[in-house]
Amino acid sequence: MTEGRPDVIDLRSDTVTRPSAGMLAAMTSAPVGDDVYGEDPTITELETEVAGLLGHEAGLFVATGSLANILGVRALAAPGTEVLCEASAHVARAELGAHAVVSGISTRTWSAPGGQIDLDQIRALIAPDLGPYFVTTSAVSVENTHNFGGGTIQTSYDALADELEGIGLPLHLDGARLWNASVASGVPLAAYASRATAASVCLSKGLGAPVGSVLVGSAELIKESRVWRKLLGAGWRQAGVLAAAGLYAVRNNVQRLAEDHANAGLIAEILADAAPGSVKPDQVDTNIVVADLAATGKSVAQVVAGAKAEGVLVGGVGVTQLRLVTHLDASAADCRQAAETVARLLR
């Protein structure tokens, strides 16, 4: 059950978690200082620890994953150039055009089931040196796991990284849920992230921290991004109380993501049984289940409202797509109950 709301099972997102007692205790005892002066020891510890885990030189603690992506993409792409990404990527769909508004960067997209990397489409789009008549491609951005693709793990990640290395184009990794990809695949975090020139991870999704993301890269890239964070009005002071939650999350809540993945598998089985074809359980890689209601004759709004009336919160992520996300505040019993509620509405 959702902490503080025992009457509700909330599977709209893994962002809805509340800090646990252990996490709150870590926050209240954290040593802090003024981070704009570089004097918050807890923030520095978090940045160093996450950079190490991800195989990079340096890290920068920021308020949101969107800000980490804005800073990371900006570092790789000059104004007037473009970044390639999948059509339903968070950078293209859910950051409100920030890369264009703030950084002067345009995107061109490929589209693939599950938000997967499609090497043939990417090869056809890449234009690193077609100037001055065409926009220059500066970087490729990849999401792993892919949120709107259904929490999918990128199967061609290394192949793309090899290809980009060959042509000298940087890779940006939106690793909001890289923790989930690593736990599910067994591939170490650094094996993924070190292939990218800039990578971001969220502490506030499945890891359960109330706030925060970390951008990692070279010492030079992070030094420059620290200036841009301040320029955007997002420098912060004694935010070590928040970094302490992130450190607690990184140290305690990564391996347990396997439970969330098992619970998502359980939900997928129950929904696939009630509405065959709406979900393919073998394609649920991690903690996100996206069900396509097109063939059920039920609308997303109808199912969302029906479930809510029974104390189960689920979300819509497309005209016919319903999304259920498992997390550390939803037990296996909660997930089963939620799935059975939705299944009843789909039958």
Ligand X SMILES: *Cc1c(COP(=O)(O)O)cnc(C)c1O
Single out the residue of 170, 171, 174, 179 nearest to residue 149, CA to CA. Answer: 174
Q: Which stretch binds ligand X (CB under 6 A): 17-25, 45-53, 58-66, 286-294?
A: 58-66
What contacts 24+ positions apart, CB below 8 Å, involve 225-233? 225/60, 225/71, 225/72, 225/74, 225/75, 226/60, 228/71, 228/74, 228/75, 229/60, 229/62, 229/67, 229/71, 230/36, 232/67, 232/70, 232/102
Single out the residue of 14, 1, 89, 19 nearest to residue 287, CA to CA. Answer: 14
Between 73 and 77, whose beta carbon lies closer to ligand X? 73
Q: How far is the CB of 52 from ligand X (least distance, A)?
A: 22
Single out the residue of 137, 147, 122 nearest to residue 66, CA to CA. Answer: 147
Between 204 and 341, whose beta carbon lies closer to ligand X? 204
Distance CA 147, CA 325 (A): 10
The reply on whether position 103 binds ligand X by CB under 6 A is no
Single out the residue of 125, 114, 54, 120 nearest to residue 85, CA to CA. Answer: 125
CB of 274 closer than 8 Å to CB of 299: no
Q: How far is the CB of 224 from ligand X (least distance, A)?
A: 21
Between 12 and 336, whose beta carbon lies closer to ligand X? 12
- Between β-strands 312-313 and 9-10, what pairing exists: parallel, antiparallel or unpaired? parallel
Which of 183, 193, 202, 312 lies at the binding interface for ligand X (CB under 6 A)? 202
Distance CA 214, CA 303 (A): 36
Which of 2, 20, 66, 225 lies at the binding interface for ligand X (CB under 6 A)? 66
Which of 47, 143, 260, 334 lies at the binding interface for ligand X (CB under 6 A)? 143
Which of 40, 47, 86, 174 lies at the binding interface for ligand X (CB under 6 A)? 174
Q: How far is the CB of 246 from ligand X (least distance, A)?
A: 12
311 conformational bin, left if phi > 0, alpha if psi -120 to 50, beta if neither = left
The reply on whether position 90 binds ligand X by CB under 6 A is yes
Q: Which stretch binds ligand X (CB under 6 A): 62-70, 102-110, 155-163, 214-222?
A: 62-70
Which of 103, 137, 147, 225 lies at the binding interface for ligand X (CB under 6 A)? 147
Residue number closest to ligand X, CB atom: 65
Which of 176, 181, 268, 314 lies at the binding interface for ligand X (CB under 6 A)? 176
The reply on whether position 98 binds ligand X by CB under 6 A is no
Give the footprint of ligand X on residues 207-246 (CB under 6 A).
213
Give the footprint of ligand X on residues 274-313 (CB under 6 A).
none
Q: How far is CA 175 from the centre of its chain?
A: 5
Distance CA 91, CA 140 (A): 11
Between 94 and 135, whose beta carbon lies closer to ligand X? 94
Query: Cα–Cα–Cα angle for 278, 117, 188, nearest 5°?
Result: 95
Which of 1, 18, 44, 64 lies at the binding interface for ligand X (CB under 6 A)? 64
Q: How far is the CB of 347 from ligand X (least distance, A)?
A: 30
Which of 20, 56, 59, 65 lies at the binding interface for ligand X (CB under 6 A)? 65
Q: How far is the CB of 228 from ligand X (least distance, A)?
A: 16
Going across the sheet that includes 213-217, the strands are 58-62, 213-217, 198-202, 171-175, 137-143, 82-86, 106-110
Residue numbers at the binding site for ligand X (CB under 6 A): 64-66, 69, 90, 143, 147, 174, 176, 202, 205, 213
